[in-house]
């Protein structure tokens, strides 16, 4: 039996680039709207076919994302590239629907742990679920794809271990409400590969027919190892952030998402199709580095792609 058959590796993966939202929101200095638009346009030219470009959170909560409407109006629409926006609640959805023609997917979110959810959105998990169960059908009626991301799926910095049964029960309610994709977030980099493998084995059985997306952070250096563990369970959908931008804004020390170019480099070297042109992606991360005026954490940005000559 070949290693590919034993591991059940997919032949191709889909990557949602979340840097323009999840990545930018953690930057202390406000990024100019024109720079955001330029960077998103660079990303959409790389072959990435899903990009999270904005959020409709209250401007006073995350000032960095207050220009979401201007960004949506300014970015270039490319054939085959689907844009998504983060929707925090019904009011955010109403704002988003005013620009419905500028994006394709709505991403909803909540945390699996009570403490993180309250610190993040000042609600209980049940309150968040009740709101999403009302909002998701509205988004579907508007013709939007609906993704629901469950933060702290693999561990909470305040509560410790999170019961997978709790996470999957939340996921089932979100699917029943109309989500066609469920993302599981390792929000502060607490997951390990054995845990990830066991989790997605159970998730695949419980959520048959639902697109399962993995979202890992490299806070403790295990991001790519966790990507591999998810791949070995047949997961073929991932979220990542160019340049390793981002991290959870709630607890201190929760550093960036696993870098998109590191994920693309590893997966491509394993013979799995990504559809992404790595040199163009590296150029986009280098441009972000210039805009931010600091070195970014991506390994491939520093070392460059592998040259087999």
248 annotated active-site: yes
Which of these, 110, 117, 103, 128, lies nearest to 52 by C-alpha position? 103
Helix or strand or coil: residue 181?
strand
Q: Compute the distance between CA of residue 174 and CA of residue 193 in angstroms, rounded to an integer.
A: 25
Active-site option among 248, 254, 276, 300: 248
d(C-alpha 38, C-alpha 10), whole Å: 32
Residue 187 is classified by DSSP as T
40 CA to centre of own chain: 15
**Exposure string for 157-195, b = 16+ CB within 10 A, e = fewer:** beeeebebeebbebbeebbebbbbbbbbbbbbbbbebeb
CA 233, CA 305: separation in Å to the nearest integer?
Answer: 26
Residues 233/8, Cβ–Cβ less than 8 Å:
yes
Residues marked as catalytic: 248
């Amino acid at each position: 039996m070949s290693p590919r058959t034993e591991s059940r590796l997919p032949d191709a993966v889909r990557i949602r680039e979340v840097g323009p939202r999840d990545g930018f929101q953690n930057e202390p200095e406000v990024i100019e709207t024109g720079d955001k638009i330029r960077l998103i346009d660079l990303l959409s030219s790389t072959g990435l076919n899903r990009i999270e470009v904005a959020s409709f959170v209250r401007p006073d909560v995350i000032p960095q994302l207050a220009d979401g409407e201007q960004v949506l109006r300014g970015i270039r629409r490319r054939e085959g590239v689907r844009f998504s926006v983060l929707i925090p609640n019904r009011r955010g959805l109403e704002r988003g629907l005013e620009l419905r023609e500028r994006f394709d997917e709505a991403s909803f979110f909540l945390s699996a742990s009570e403490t993180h959810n309250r610190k993040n959105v000042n609600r209980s998990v049940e309150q968040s679920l009740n709101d999403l169960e009302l909002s998701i059908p509205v988004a579907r009626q508007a013709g939007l794809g609906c993704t629901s991301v469950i933060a702290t799926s693999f561990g909470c910095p305040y509560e410790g271990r999170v019961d997978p049964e709790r996470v999957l029960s939340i996921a089932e309610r979100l699917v029943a409400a109309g989500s066609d994709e469920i993302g599981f977030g390792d929000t502060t980099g607490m997951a390990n590969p054995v845990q990830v493998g066991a989790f997605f084995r159970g998730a695949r059985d419980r959520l048959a027919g639902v697109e399962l997306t993995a979202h890992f952070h490299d806070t403790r250096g295990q991001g790519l190892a966790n990507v591999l563990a998810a791949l070995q369970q047949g997961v073929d959908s991932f979220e990542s952030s160019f340049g390793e931008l981002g991290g959870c804004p709630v607890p201190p020390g929760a550093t960036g998402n696993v870098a998109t170019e590191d994920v693309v480099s590893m997966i491509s070297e394993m013979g799995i199709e990504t559809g992404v042109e790595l040199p163009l992606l590296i150029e986009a991360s280098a441009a972000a580095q210039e805009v931010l005026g600091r070195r970014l954490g991506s390994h491939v940005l520093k070392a460059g792609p592998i040259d087999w000559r």
